[in-house]
Amino acid sequence: MKFEDSQISKELTFTVKELPFGKLYFFPKFIISEMDYGIHLDWAKIEKVIKAIFSHYGMNCKIGYISNKVNSYSFEPTLWTKFYKNYDFIIASVSVCYSHINYINATLEKQFSKKSVKRTDNIKDSIKWITNLKEFNV
């Protein structure tokens, strides 16, 4: 389910940033991404996402990242290695998986991430998990 179609979207305050290949929803402690159908999320696109995040939160941010996988798109999981070599602002991430293939892909991505990666089947549980991280409740 797209975030904006969910009941929880009506309960939370957020800012939307539209990119040519997807949407980003900014919250005080986390971000939700929804990539467009059929895109390939390569390093150039990831850098555009990072630029939007830094523009919104600042260069020294520490946030959670929720990937709401409502559309099918490709991503090279090894890019997590490159990401963590260059950046360290994601505390933990969640993949919201609506299909078995999404779950398998998220499991593969988890192998390359240096941070905690949770997999859920709905946006509400993802938001609950990310907002209850000890790093945000110190």
CATH of the domain at 67: 3.30.750
Q: Is the pLDDT of residue 125 over 90?
A: yes
Domain that holds residue 131: 3-136
* Residue scoring higher pLDDT (134 or 34): 34
CA dist list (Å): 82 to 25, 26, 49, 112: 24, 23, 15, 10
Count of domains observed in the chain: 1
3-56 pLDDT, tens digit each? 999 999 999 999 999 999 999 999 999 999 999 999 999 999 999 999 999 999
Mean pLDDT of 95-121: 81
Which residues, 6+ apart, have CB-to-CB distance to 61 below 8 Å? 53, 54, 89
Contacts 24+ apart (CB under 8 A), 37-44: 37/71, 37/72, 37/73, 38/71, 38/72, 38/73, 39/73, 39/74, 40/73, 40/74, 40/75, 41/73, 41/74, 41/75, 41/76, 41/79, 42/76, 42/79, 43/79, 43/82
